[in-house]
């Protein structure tokens, strides 16, 4: 029997998952998204093109891979249709290579409106949501009134849509928020036709059959562990379980079939939206990192907040996910800095700890840093050829986190990826 490997982000999202899924995809028969929705923006760059995928799994550009949008995902028909349109020039046989779970929850136009109305009402306590309707859709799922993708084939789909819409309109009466969904509804029903033209299946059977048939499955996470609904910096989190356990729920795979857990992290930290960020660099230092790393959101274009690597947070993520291999991204961004810092602990009430408190914000603590030197630009194509200062940085993280760094990324392109000799997926 084959196994399901999981690839996920260990920080606050935007670690570079799209690039790595695309890089590893040829080793897999199935690539499946298990949570999140169009709040994600997975960026892939190759052959002079830059693609940003929000809903479609990042294995889509490879022949012979089946891409699955799993039951744990929230799917917006509008965004899905836009993405399908954008992929048309690339002549991919999408109907053959992409299937949708009949149990994935559907984002309807009023979910997006609710997201905006809720955020506006929060004033200075905003989550900094991507406003893609993610939270309200997961809310409806848990409240057991959501629409599922498989419902598009039910004879009373339009009636069910009206019911949930009217429910949302009643809520919206309590908010001082103006909107008009006439155009959005037109686009929505148009997009529903596109959804109907795809295979809508009980994908849990398909994935378990793939395991039985000895096929290799890669579960592609979205967002990052520090945005997990249970373990992230609550309430400044997304509304799904972004950690490895979410792959079991979000695809219908039993824990016994999970193999490798690939944890992706940046050589530094970023965060988009509000919420605590202990190692954040303010002012010019943060600006410098933002410019060097081109840190602007792939989905919203918002500038990302930037800061040093936070090892206690990384250790926490590795523990929650059971990470077996680490992939470090964007090492090139720090290359020409005079000093690169890493936070290795927090000092609270006279004691040093690397355990995260319940609230990261408002905590009376001091961060403890170790300083490294920038390693200089490199075009190395093997681990041995990496600058010794970078190898020192890598060794320190491995020793602290107790997991091996097997891939180092030195740029956005597929070819700017360095593998440890022993690495096999």
53 touching ligand IMP, by CB under 6 A? no
Closer residue to ligand IMP (CB): 67 or 233 = 233
Report the 10 Å Cβ neighbour count for 162: 11
Of 67, 208, 238, 241, the one binding ligand IMP (CB under 6 A) is: 238
Q: 5, 14, 22, 310: which one is catalytic? A: 14
Is 184 marked active-site?
no
Contacts of 333 by beta carbon, 8 Å cutoff, 6+ apart: 266, 267, 268, 289, 292, 293
Is 115 marked active-site?
no
Stretch that binds ligand IMP, among 83-91, 121-129, 305-313, 364-372 (CB under 6 A): 121-129
Q: Which residues in 90-100 are b (16+ Cβ under 10 Å) and which e?
A: eebebeebbbb
Q: Which single residue brings its beta carbon nearest to ligand IMP?
A: 273
3-state class (DSSP) for residue 264? strand
Report the C-alpha gap between 107 and 197 in whole angstroms: 18
Residue 400 to residues 41, 186, 312, 393: CA-CA distances in angstroms? 30, 53, 9, 11
Closer residue to ligand IMP (CB): 273 or 307 = 273
Report the C-alpha gap between 204 and 241 in whole angstroms: 18
Tell me which residues in 19-48 interact with ligand IMP (CB under 6 A). 39-41
Closer residue to ligand IMP (CB): 203 or 233 = 233
Residue 373 to residues 14, 84, 336, 340, 390: CA-CA distances in angstroms? 25, 45, 9, 6, 9
Of 70, 72, 135, 412, the one binding ligand IMP (CB under 6 A) is: 135
Q: 5, 22, 29, 42: which one is catalytic? A: 42
Of 134, 217, 267, 333, the one binding ligand IMP (CB under 6 A) is: 134
Closer residue to ligand IMP (CB): 66 or 227 = 227
Strand pairing of 4-9 and 217-220?
Answer: parallel
The answer to whether the bond into 131 is cis (omega within 30° of 0) is no
Of 272, 328, 360, 394, the one binding ligand IMP (CB under 6 A) is: 272
Closer residue to ligand IMP (CB): 278 or 345 = 278
223 touching ligand IMP, by CB under 6 A? yes
Catalytic site residues? Answer: 14, 42
Which residues are near ligand IMP by CB under 6 A?
Answer: 12-14, 39-41, 127-130, 132, 134-135, 222-223, 227, 236, 238-239, 272-273, 275
């Amino acid at each position: 029997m084959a196994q399901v490997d999981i690839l996920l982000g260990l920080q606050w999202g935007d670690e570079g998952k799209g690039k790595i899924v695309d890089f590893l995809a040829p080793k897999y028969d199935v690539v499946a998204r298990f949570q999140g929705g169009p709040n994600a923006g997975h960026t892939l760059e190759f052959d002079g093109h830059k693609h940003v995928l929000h809903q479609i799994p990042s294995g889509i550009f490879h022949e012979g891979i089946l891409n699955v949008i799993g039951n744990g995902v929230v799917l917006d028909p509008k965004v899905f249709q836009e993405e399908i349109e954008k992929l048309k020039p690339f002549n991919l046989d999408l109907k053959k290579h992409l299937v949708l779970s009949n149990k994935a929850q559907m984002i309807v136009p009023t979910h997006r409106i609710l997201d905006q109305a809720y955020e506006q009402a929060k004033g200075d306590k905003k989550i900094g949501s991507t406003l893609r309707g993610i939270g309200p859709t997961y809310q409806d799922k848990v409240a057991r009134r959501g629409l599922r993708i498989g419902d598009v084939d039910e004879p009373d789909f339009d009636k069910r849509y009206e019911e949930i819409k009217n429910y949302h309109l009643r809520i919206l009466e309590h908010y001082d928020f103006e909107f008009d969904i006439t155009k959005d509804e037109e686009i929505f029903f148009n997009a529903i036709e596109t959804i109907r033209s795809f295979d809508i299946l009980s994908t849990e059977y398909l994935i378990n059959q793939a395991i039985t048939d000895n096929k290799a499955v890669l579960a592609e996470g979205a967002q990052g562990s520090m945005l997990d609904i249970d373990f992230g910096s609550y309430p400044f989190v997304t509304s799904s379980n972004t950690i490895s356990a979410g792959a079991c729920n979000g695809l219908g795979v039993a824990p016994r079939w999970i193999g490798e857990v690939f944890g992706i992290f940046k050589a530094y930290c970023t965060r988009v939206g509000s919420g605590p960020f202990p190692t954040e660099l303010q002012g010019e230092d943060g600006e410098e990192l933002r410019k060097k790393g081109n840190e602007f959101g792939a989905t919203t274009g918002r500038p990302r907040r930037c800061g040093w690597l936070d090892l206690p947070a990384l250790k926490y993520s590795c523990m929650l996910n059971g990470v077996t291999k680490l992939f470090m991204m964007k090492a090139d961004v720090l290359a020409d800095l005079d000093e690169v810092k890493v936070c290795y602990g927090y000092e609270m009430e006279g004691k040093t700890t690397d355990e995260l408190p319940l609230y990261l914000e408002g905590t009376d603590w001091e961060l403890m840093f170790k300083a490294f030197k920038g390693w200089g630009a490199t075009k190395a194509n093997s681990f041995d050829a990496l600058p010794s200062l970078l190898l020192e940085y890598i060794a320190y993280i491995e020793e602290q986190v107790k997991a091996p760094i097997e891939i180092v990324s030195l740029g956005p392109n597929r070819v700017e990826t360095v593998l440890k000799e022993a690495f096999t997926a």
